[in-house]
Structure 1
Amino acid sequence: MIAYRAGHAADADALAAMAQQSYIETFGTLYARADLDAFLGDVLAPERFAAQLADPAYRFRLATIEGQPIGYAKLGPQYFEDFPADAACLHQLYVLAAHHGDGPGRVLMDWALDAAQAEGKAEMYLSVFVDNHRARRFYARYGFVEVGKYVYMVGTQADDDRILRLAL
């Protein structure tokens, strides 16, 4: 049974391991090993998760089975240039491949939208890899629309991401 809860500082190591596994499952074949390792050791490092879990500017919601994370959503400060600084920003929504279709993505997305609305946000932004068709279809079902392009660095490789927006 999947349970949902807020993220806490003690989750940093397990969350990082789950995020790294999810990223490798989804994108691992796209990068040179050095670029992938650099990304995993920086953006998805336990230390980064620990810092964000302790930072009140970030909010996490975890999907767990027997206490172990199988997915999460992370809201944080807006980081896209030329878009409202006070808008909600979904930094990550990751679910392990074995649980795609089991519902945690939908529950986590619903939480993110509810949390943003509860904070009085009028819109939400996120970025998604241009060739991540599964994720793009998922966000389109919620009504997100493309409003820009974003270069997302994975090590030294520049990925072509799309910025999506949803009016809340």
Structure 2
Amino acid sequence: MARRPVEVAAVEGDLEALTALWREAKVDAGTSPEVCARAISDGRLSSALQRPGVQAFIATLEGEPAGYVITTDNPFGLAPSPEVAIEQLWVTPDARRHGVAKQLLAAVLAAAERAGCEQVVSNVPTTSREANRFFARLGFGSTVTRRVVATGTLRRRIAPETADTGLELTRRRRSLRQRAFSTRSA
């Protein structure tokens, strides 16, 4: 049985298909549709895609959007040679196992080679077993564990005495309410 043809094109100006795929990927990953809609309506997605060094490709399978990949140039800035990072790669569930992801990666590889990049880096969630296996089969190795923390959490861990933990804020609010109530009663 012959494989269905996959076509990949760089996203230029029209973001409609990419936006729809991005929304579907985020909802598939557990983000609420409302949060996705807000990111799109606020223009956060389109402005992120217009940053220097960001490139996006869309794959179509039999004329229908089937997946996308978003890359950035030299993500860490300190690498000895230029590199391209795959920030997001997603294929619709119906289009999986049809070579869509490999065709998207072929487009990334071609762009990386044109830019003189010696490495392609992929940011894969540690919890995504399927994605980790896919990239490992293609020769991607694990070189770093990227850990992320919210600034408020880090502040509470580094200097708990200066962090606004919420308890101090609650205490201040209660004190202000008590004073306001006392002045109205008097």
Task: Work out the CA distance in 2 between the residues paired with 1:153 and 1:116.
Answer: 30
* Cα 1:56/1:72, change in 2 over 3 Å: same
Choose the corresponding residue for 2:75, options 79, 85, 90. Answer: 79
Q: Give yes or no for contact 1:79–1:85 (8 Å, CA) kept in 2.
A: no
* Cα 1:85/1:40, change in 2 over 3 Å: farther
Q: Please name the residue that 2:90 is paired with.
A: 94
Task: Look up the SS of the partner of 1:5 in the other structure.
Answer: strand
1:109 to partner: Cα distance: 0.9
Larger fraction in strand:
1
CA displacement, residues 128-158 of structure 1 (integer Å, 9 cap, x when unaligned): 111201111111111111011113579x9xx
- Kindly indicate whether residue 124 of structure 2 is the aligned counterpart of residue 128 of structure 1: yes
1:106 to partner: Cα distance: 0.8
Choose the corresponding residue for 1:8, options 9, 12, 15. Answer: 12
- Kindly indicate whether residue 94 of structure 2 is the aligned counterpart of residue 115 of structure 1: no
Task: Look up the SS of the partner of 1:73 in the other structure.
Answer: strand
Task: Work out the CA distance in 1 between the residues paired with 2:62 and 2:97.
Answer: 19
Root-mean-square deviation (CA), in Å?
3.2
Q: Please name the residue that 1:165 is paired with.
A: none
- Kindly indicate whether residue 62 of structure 2 is the aligned counterpart of residue 60 of structure 1: no
Task: Look up the SS of the partner of 1:146 in the other structure.
Answer: coil
The two structures have a TM-score, normalised by structure 2, of: 0.64
Q: Please name the residue that 2:143 is paired with.
A: 147
The two structures have a TM-score, normalised by structure 1, of: 0.70
Task: Look up the SS of the partner of 1:62 in the other structure.
Answer: strand
Task: Work out the CA distance in 2 between the residues paired with 1:64 and 1:84.
Answer: 35
Q: Larger RCO: Structure 1 or Structure 2 (Cα < 8 Å, ≥ 6 residues apart)?
A: 1
Identity of aligned pairs, percent? 23
Task: Look up the SS of the partner of 1:129 in the other structure.
Answer: coil
Amino acid at match of 2:56: F
Task: Work out the CA distance in 1 between the residues paired with 2:77 and 2:115.
Answer: 21
Choose the corresponding residue for 1:22, options 9, 21, 25. Answer: 25
1:8 to partner: Cα distance: 1.8
Task: Work out the CA distance in 1 between the residues paired with 2:64 and 2:144.
Answer: 35
In the alignment, structure 2 segments of 5+ residues that lack a partner are: 153-186
Task: Work out the CA distance in 2 between the residues paired with 1:23 and 1:15.
Answer: 12
Task: Work out the CA distance in 1 between the residues paired with 2:114 and 2:23.
Answer: 30
CA displacement, residues 25-52 of structure 1 (integer Å, 9 cap, x when unaligned): 2x21xx6x5xx8546744xx36344335
Q: How many residues align?
A: 147
Amino acid at match of 1:126: S
Q: Give yes or no for contact 1:6–1:60 (8 Å, CA) kept in 2.
A: yes
Task: Look up the SS of the partner of 2:123 in the other structure.
Answer: strand
